[in-house]
Structure 1
């Protein structure tokens, strides 16, 4: 975690959702405030030094998500934050595509992925990008060479969901990353206008879409998840 610092926890009553795992028992997830979405994957609360965190484990091209259902933000505008450490990102097959955060809802059939990326074989590296799959704007990932993934290190990701311009903005470790933003007409070059859904489901975890990946399994850790009407900070 950045500089050994932690967020203030879940004491802020203005938050729309918060989970720091500190009050959950170790082992399989046991919370009435969020659910689980898995296929060839598992979630488990683990102790790391002084903190409890959520381990996300998948096999092959499986998925494992903490799922927040019935989410509602006033005016469909909100900010999110999550701390993430990924053991390793895929290096095969070519163009392997992965997701860490996925948001869906009414008003648009888009599947919006504020945090995700892709293995790019021409550059022999994996890179972050804002992406969507399906819906009127089709399938786009829009990875950026300026945003290489970082393995085996805690990072703080923040995003803004702004319906005013159908904008998704991103910060990494408190630094704005405008090249990873999407908006009404900036979403991978597709000429069809991009429209944000009325967000009602937020999923955080891991999904890889191509079979036979390298490595054959993935582990990552999540902590300090928060959604709120204002930027939450790291």
Structure 2
């Protein structure tokens, strides 16, 4: 990773803001990805200061486990964000361990957010819904910026497979539009996850469905459904975005987890264009 947010230069920050202001946030999954943060339009966190990076603050803390930056395992360098020994709650019922950080994006970030992170999971693939990253934005026409008033996209796993979701504000966070892949989450190895949240979606009347890649290969979604309580089959209206405002990362279990589980997240990056996995990431 070429830069840490804590050392992000004024020039890089200006480049990001200029691109956003000019509306150059055009998602193109066919454009070759850069490596790391070479384009200087991305915000990147490699955790190499050995502590929670500047701007990130503790958010959720439920049940057992810890969220910390340590040197127990890293994708690159020495340090990574570690969700350590998460457990608690009852599998199959709502309520599980949640350990996260949140970050307020710079003003006028824009309605398109590409992301990339390397994730390591052990010792088992959880069956419960495990959120890894989300990005939120205000509802159209709303001046409210409170966390619980924002629409949001999420990257997660469910039933031991990768999943992506579009949500209305949380609570309750549903009815939500759920996309479940047929791809098992990578266990006991580093997985490069990429995602595209296109809240603008051109002239379409709704924000786009989330898209997601594993080690450079886009995931397919053989299972699509609406989750709601009480149940409904009516899909939510995916409201369009003007600017993403808040990020959240760590691990959020929405159902219980009986096996103490560890996740490491490293080399996290977001920006207006595809960031890529980098040439140093081995093929699977």
Shared fold, TM over 0.5: yes
Contact 1:18 1:224 in 2 (8 A): yes
Q: Secondary structure at 2:97's aligned position in 1?
A: strand
Within a 5 Å distance, the mapping from 1:66-77 to structure 2 comes to 66-72=101-107, 74-77=109-112
Q: Deviations over 1:118-162 (max 9, x none)?
A: 22xxxxxx2222224445960343323x22222111001111121
User: CA offset at residue 178 of structure 1?
Assistant: 4.2
Q: Secondary structure at 1:161's aligned position in 2?
A: strand
CA root-mean-square deviation:
2.8
Contact 2:176 2:235 in 1 (8 A): no
Partner of 2:254: 209
- Residues 156 and 42 from structure 1, CA distance in 2 versus in 1: closer, same or farther, beyond 3 angstroms? same
Larger Rg computed on CA atoms = 2
Paired residue for 1:100, among 122, 132, 141? 132
Paired residue for 2:54, among 32, 35, 40? 32
- Residues 46 and 227 from structure 1, CA distance in 2 versus in 1: closer, same or farther, beyond 3 angstroms? same
Normalising by structure 2, we get a TM-score of 0.63
Paired residue for 1:127, among 161, 177, 198? 161
Paired residue for 1:14, among 37, 41, 49? 41
User: CA offset at residue 10 of structure 1?
Assistant: 5.3
Within a 5 Å distance, the mapping from 1:174-185 to structure 2 comes to 174-179=216-221
Distance in structure 1 (CA, Å) of the matches to 2:157 and 2:252: 11
**Higher strand fraction: Structure 1 or Structure 2?**
1
Distance in structure 1 (CA, Å) of the matches to 2:222 and 2:113: 17
Paired residue for 1:111, among 145, 152, 168? 152
78-87 vs 171-180, which moves further: 171-180
- Residues 194 and 224 from structure 1, CA distance in 2 versus in 1: closer, same or farther, beyond 3 angstroms? same
- Residues 10 and 35 from structure 1, CA distance in 2 versus in 1: closer, same or farther, beyond 3 angstroms? farther
Paired residue for 1:43, among 54, 59, 67? 67
Residue 149 in structure 1 maps to residue 171 in structure 2: no
Q: Secondary structure at 2:110's aligned position in 1?
A: helix
- Residues 46 and 191 from structure 1, CA distance in 2 versus in 1: closer, same or farther, beyond 3 angstroms? closer
Residue 62 in structure 1 maps to residue 97 in structure 2: yes
Structure 1 residue runs of 5 or longer lacking an equivalent are 1-6, 120-125
Partner of 1:171: 213
Distance in structure 2 (CA, Å) of the matches to 1:8 and 1:142: 27
Normalising by structure 1, we get a TM-score of 0.74
- Residues 142 and 229 from structure 1, CA distance in 2 versus in 1: closer, same or farther, beyond 3 angstroms? closer
Partner of 1:4: none
Partner of 1:233: 276
